[in-house]
Structure 1
Amino acid sequence: MPFPKTNPSLERALAERGYAEPTPVQAAVLQPEAEGRDLLVSAQTGSGKTVAYGLALARTLLGEAERFGAPAEPLALVVAPTRELALQVHRELTWLYGEAGAKVASCVGGMDVRREQRALAEGCHMVVGTPGRLRDHLERGRLDPSRMRAVVLDEADEMLDLGFREDLEFILDATPEDRRTLLFSATIPRNIATLARRYQRDALRIDTLVENQPHGDIDYRAIRVAPNETELAVVNVLRFFEARGAMVFCHTRESVRHLHASLTERGFAAVALSGELTQNERSHALQALRDGRARVCVATDVAARGIDLPDLGLVIHADLPNDPETLLHRSGRTGRAGRKGVCVLLVPYTRRRKAERLLDDAGVDADWGGPPAAEEIRRRDRERILQDPSLAEETTEDDLATAQALLAQRSPEEIAAAFARVLRARLPAPEEVFDPGTERGPRERPDRRTREREREGRKSREGRADHAGADMVWFRMSVGRRNNADPRWLLPIICRLGHVTKKEIGSIRIFDRETKFEIVPSAAPKFAAAVRKANDEDIRIEPAEAPGGWGGGKDRPKAPPAKGKPKGKPKRSFAKKGRGA
């Protein structure tokens, strides 16, 4: 259906931007019963909320006029939780009200306060800002709220979660009582409902989603990874999908720094986004993504809400979210405004159960599988080369002359191979990753003697025989067969966490709930000190006793006396049998 009639200047702006039909939230706020009323709206991220409240305010701010008069005291105030969201709203309202001659000012933390002060003093029609900076301008008398006809709280639940309740109440108390109050929130918990009852009059409640509903335009994938290969899996997922824009989420600033450096080193055009960056650095990072200079953004959850990036086709959870709400908000960076997107969760086998609970609580149905293999990526690269836009471009005379000169000296196969090499040179190489596979049943596991022979063979091949006669020191690790533990990914973890080499590791025994392994005596003290510092919630390593019935030296259990035989020195015939037993 077409947009309902609003204001001719706004209708022209929508047409110029290619807006043909309203999204559900835009249609809901423009229904006749919403005209002029306070609104309490819950809508999913990426549903067009900014344009929705921009259109809803048109008659309140402009009346029947098509253009604003000279700028003076602001007529509308929009409050957003983060600098990025506030600047994004500023851009949206600027183009939406551009035909109407609106002057929109921004007031956000981290920006030049003197510039904001001058913009407010010169006059404006709308102000967009963050709670702390807006309160500061109000307290210092730089922002005059006396003529305000409307206040919008965008992402109100996020602002309360961030501790801005006192600032919001101060701002709302400072504005005229007869203003319109539009409150937009992803969910309407009790604290939002309380705020609405206090500051809204006869508000119309609008629901355009089921609470915590997963996005219908997102394809969810859960990928099994070895715990020490998350970084390699990120590389292969990025290469497999080759999205025009991708966002990778980590828990901590340190994780963001490390992964960003690793991707940049491999040749990805990547930027980082975390709370430690200055506003200028964050703005440059986002602008690089918008204009295509960067294609990957590595971010903490500071970027999980309210940021709209064009062509963001892929979201990767390098670290699993802590709760279903964070999962949905992170994932909501893609699949916006009718566009399709892919969301990938990287799940170490030590955290599979947590991932399953997380997906179930969020109501998300994810396809499980292993990480993209290097050969799969190379196969996709060949398919992409055949579809490269340069092959479809119109051929010029210069192109033909160059082609003829090449064909005079080289065969078509050599020229095609060179073309493929040039295209591949722009792409980071895929990584060799291990697929832990699905959990194995008892029938699929080799018997004990076979497993022990395989372990002894590996021990010999890897040069561990040097320690055969030593009294090795045993440690235990909190993962076992239930976590699909495998020496192929356990060995690198032991080396990395304990600062040892493979030659300093002896036998490895994998049990149902734990794994025990040997460290040479000379390296055991430094190993114990290193793992004490490195232990985390996923994998714990601590000293242990040798497993019963296995291990060398004094830890080897003694054979029990045979039934019916007297204690003391055994007969010679019994000793022979005992040695062979």
Structure 2
Amino acid sequence: MTKFESFKAFNLSQNMLDVLEKKGFFKPTPIQVHVIPLLMKGDRDIIGQAQTGTGKTAAFGIPIIEKLTRNTGSIQALVLTPTRELALQVSEELESLKGDKNIMIAPLYGGQSIKQQLKTLTSGTDLVVGTPGRIIDHLEKGNIKLDSISYLVLDEADEMLNMGFIEDVKKIFRSTNENKQMLLFSATMPTPILKLAKKHMRNHDYVSVSQEDLIAEFTDQVYFELTEEQKFEALCRLIDINDGFYGLVFCNTKSDTTEIAQRLGERGYGADALNGDLTQDQREGILKKFRSKGLNILVATDVAARGIDVVELTHVINYSLPQDAESYIHRIGRTGRAGKQGTAITFITPADSRRFESFVRAANAEVRPEKIPSAKEVVSTRTKNFKRDLGQLIKSGEYQDFLKMANELLDRQDPDVVVASLLKYYFQDTLEEDHYPELDAGSSKTDKGKVRLFVAIGDYEGMTPEKMPDFLSRESGINDLELETIEVFSKFSFVTVPQNQADLLLKRFADMRKRNRPFVELAMNSNVRENKVKG
């Protein structure tokens, strides 16, 4: 079998082919190419060395779902995972793969009511995805029997070893029948895992897929050279110019994830932070919202993002360069999955250059430099996308509820005046090139001599766009300020002024920090954490 054939080559049912097409899975990944035919044949066990993101859930899920039948009266397949988050993730992926097939899939994990799980089990479950501890709880209570299963999958085996679950896994193995087909997946193969496989597996095939193979095939890698102060504005531009952006933004510290996610939220983006300070319930809530695309940006640390597997990601952005090449490869391998093209973007400061070069060599992939989109490009793209989205809305007819209001507005003004006013109301000044600082020059100046300033006061202190001119004039003693753009967020604001007035404002506000007063500085030089901004 050649690499990356169509799924039709596996002789799958039409239901499964329809499901895969609907999910946008057109080419099988390397692990799927190797595992699916072996499982479909069904005469050997499989050891797979593959990391998260290689497509292994679908690799074992597709053939198992194809072979399961409903109402056998017993559990036919068991998938063991090290964490409840992964159990939920795997069960949701398997649910999405079954399509119209009438089989029942149940996740069993700690933290959920055993009574609720028992109710699900008694209604008839064909496939169970669970954590070792909770599976043992149900075994000891007699709620489940595993003596007639057809498939046993051990997912993330090395993680189970690291988390101390290996004895629980062995106990579960002893409760299963011998004539099952067994699959063991692990990113690494430490000696205890190999011993476990040797003791409990029959004749088996070994499959190894490196994440680098997937990165080279499906991930477009680019980098941007900029200063630390330019990163946030560059991030916003990249989100704006990439239609349908759905991605992970990686930072190295918990505080950075919180700050960047909050600043993105203040700008109107659907973003949240994922870090080690969250409770499990908070974490699961954020991930659920992200997977359902209630959020399109997740700002995370490496540790917090461990185990997240979202196949539709369009982008991964290294806002901060990771500490080692392995982390870099793991980050960028989170996009470009399931046969879909993805983009990995890395922000490089002058201090990062040498370390980044070593990461690129380790990833063994081509990485090209690019320039941050200009203000003109961002405005043009946003305008084009708005026109397209408006056309689709008109075509869908979903505007009907607003026709009455529209007619009332048109009775009073000319149509072009009404439309222009609505556009102004919606976009404010964000479609003017002066709104965006000139990044290439490394400063906040624009081509027309305008400067964007950061003001450390926001609506939390009662500031509004209407009050801002008087506030700046009163504090600085400068009359007749020409404020081009005013953006007020919760604890800070941005204003755009002519170059000469910007110089005066910066000079007058220079000692405001020392006097514990609201201060003004160049927007591109502002890297203020919100919890330090005082009004």
Is the pair's TM-score, using the shorter chain for normalization, greater than 0.5?
Answer: yes
SS in 1 for 2:11: coil
Aligned residue in 1 for 2:270: 269
Q: Which amino acid is the alignment partner of residue 32 of structure 2?
A: Q
Q: CA deviation at 1:167?
A: 4.0
C-alpha offsets along residues 361-384 of structure 1, whole Å, 9 cap, x if unaligned? 122322234544545423432333
Q: CA deviation at 1:304?
A: 3.8
Alignment of 1:353-502 (within 5 A): 353-369=354-370, 371-390=372-391, 393-394=394-395, 406=410, 409-410=413-414, 412=416, 414=417, 417-418=420-421, 420-422=423-425, 424=427, 432=437, 434-435=439-440
SS in 2 for 1:31: helix
C-alpha offsets along residues 450-506 of structure 1, whole Å, 9 cap, x if unaligned? xxxxxxxxxxxxxxxxxxxxxxxxxxxxxxxxxxxxxxxxxxxxxxxxxxx96699x
CA contact (8 A) 2:248 2:316 kept: yes
SS in 2 for 1:255: helix
Is 2:58 the counterpart of 1:57?
A: no
Q: 1:255 to 1:16 in 2, by over 3 A?
A: closer
Q: 1:380 to 1:133 in 2, by over 3 A?
A: same
| C-alpha separation in 2, matches of 1:68 and 1:11 | 24
| C-alpha separation in 2, matches of 1:400 and 1:504 | 51
Aligned residue in 2 for 1:153: 154
| C-alpha separation in 2, matches of 1:10 and 1:384 | 34
1:68 to 65, 71, 86: 71
CA contact (8 A) 1:25 1:48 kept: yes
Q: 1:188 to 1:383 in 2, by over 3 A?
A: farther
| C-alpha separation in 1, matches of 2:441 and 2:268 | 27
Aligned residue in 2 for 1:351: 352
Q: 1:76 to 1:433 in 2, by over 3 A?
A: farther
CA contact (8 A) 2:107 2:130 kept: yes
Q: 1:200 to 1:247 in 2, by over 3 A?
A: same
Q: 1:356 to 1:211 in 2, by over 3 A?
A: closer
Aligned residue in 2 for 1:168: 169
- More moved, 84-93 vs 402-411: 402-411
Q: CA deviation at 1:164?
A: 4.1
Aligned residue in 2 for 1:444: none
Aligned residue in 1 for 2:248: 247
Q: Which amino acid is the alignment partner of residue 51 of structure 1?
A: A
Alignment of 1:318-333 (within 5 A): 318-333=319-334
Q: Which amino acid is the alignment partner of residue 364 of structure 2?
A: G
Alignment of 1:196-235 (within 5 A): 196-209=197-210, 214-235=215-236
C-alpha offsets along residues 150-179 of structure 1, whole Å, 9 cap, x if unaligned? 211223344445554444344334433443
Is 2:50 the counterpart of 1:37?
A: no
- More moved, 389-398 vs 284-293: 389-398
| C-alpha separation in 2, matches of 1:78 and 1:185 | 14
TM-score (norm 1): 0.63
CA contact (8 A) 1:108 1:130 kept: yes
Is 2:29 the counterpart of 1:28?
A: no
Task: Indicate the percent of aligned positions where both proteins have the same amino acid.
Answer: 32
Q: 1:245 to 1:14 in 2, by over 3 A?
A: closer
Alignment of 1:171-182 (within 5 A): 171-182=172-183
Q: 1:100 to 1:278 in 2, by over 3 A?
A: same
| C-alpha separation in 2, matches of 1:148 and 1:426 | 63
| C-alpha separation in 1, matches of 2:71 and 2:14 | 13
| C-alpha separation in 1, matches of 2:310 and 2:430 | 23
| C-alpha separation in 1, matches of 2:250 and 2:225 | 17
C-alpha offsets along residues 316-335 of structure 1, whole Å, 9 cap, x if unaligned? 12232233333233223322
Q: Which amino acid is the alignment partner of residue 240 of structure 1?
A: I
Q: Which amino acid is the alignment partner of residue 39 of structure 1?
A: I
CA contact (8 A) 2:151 2:180 kept: yes
Aligned residue in 2 for 1:316: 317
Larger Rg: 1
| C-alpha separation in 2, matches of 1:422 and 1:142 | 60
Q: CA deviation at 1:128?
A: 0.5
C-alpha offsets along residues 26-49 of structure 1, whole Å, 9 cap, x if unaligned? 343343695231011245654542
Q: Which amino acid is the alignment partner of residue 432 of structure 1?
A: P
Q: CA deviation at 1:187?
A: 5.2
| C-alpha separation in 1, matches of 2:26 and 2:511 | 67
| C-alpha separation in 1, matches of 2:88 and 2:150 | 22
Q: CA deviation at 1:78?
A: 0.6
Q: 1:175 to 1:80 in 2, by over 3 A?
A: same
CA contact (8 A) 2:54 2:211 kept: no
Aligned residue in 2 for 1:285: 286
| C-alpha separation in 2, matches of 1:93 and 1:136 | 23
CA contact (8 A) 2:321 2:348 kept: yes
TM-score (norm 2): 0.68
Structure 1: 5+ residue stretches without partners: 438-500, 506-519, 521-581
Structure 2: 5+ residue stretches without partners: 1-5, 443-508, 515-535
C-alpha offsets along residues 221-280 of structure 1, whole Å, 9 cap, x if unaligned? 222232345444433332332434122122343332222222212221123333443444
Aligned residue in 2 for 1:478: none
Aligned residue in 1 for 2:476: none
Q: 1:436 to 1:40 in 2, by over 3 A?
A: farther
Q: CA deviation at 1:109?
A: 3.5
| C-alpha separation in 2, matches of 1:44 and 1:185 | 7
Q: Which amino acid is the alignment partner of residue 49 of structure 1?
A: K
CA contact (8 A) 2:243 2:385 kept: no
| C-alpha separation in 2, matches of 1:119 and 1:394 | 43
CA contact (8 A) 1:212 1:362 kept: no
CA contact (8 A) 2:32 2:59 kept: yes
SS in 1 for 2:314: strand
Q: CA deviation at 1:4?
A: 2.8
| C-alpha separation in 1, matches of 2:119 and 2:415 | 67
Count, aligned residues: 437
Q: CA deviation at 1:79?
A: 1.6
Q: Which amino acid is the alignment partner of residue 214 of structure 1?
A: I
Q: CA deviation at 1:115?
A: 2.1
C-alpha offsets along residues 89-140 of structure 1, whole Å, 9 cap, x if unaligned? 2123234446443222212243334422443455522210234433444455
Q: 1:307 to 1:363 in 2, by over 3 A?
A: same
CA contact (8 A) 1:316 1:345 kept: yes
Q: 1:400 to 1:216 in 2, by over 3 A?
A: farther
SS in 1 for 2:264: helix
| C-alpha separation in 2, matches of 1:404 and 1:94 | 48
| C-alpha separation in 2, matches of 1:427 and 1:282 | 33
Q: CA deviation at 1:204?
A: 0.9
Q: CA deviation at 1:53?
A: 1.0
CA contact (8 A) 1:13 1:98 kept: yes
CA contact (8 A) 1:270 1:294 kept: yes
Aligned residue in 1 for 2:532: none
Q: 1:425 to 1:125 in 2, by over 3 A?
A: farther
CA contact (8 A) 1:226 1:435 kept: no
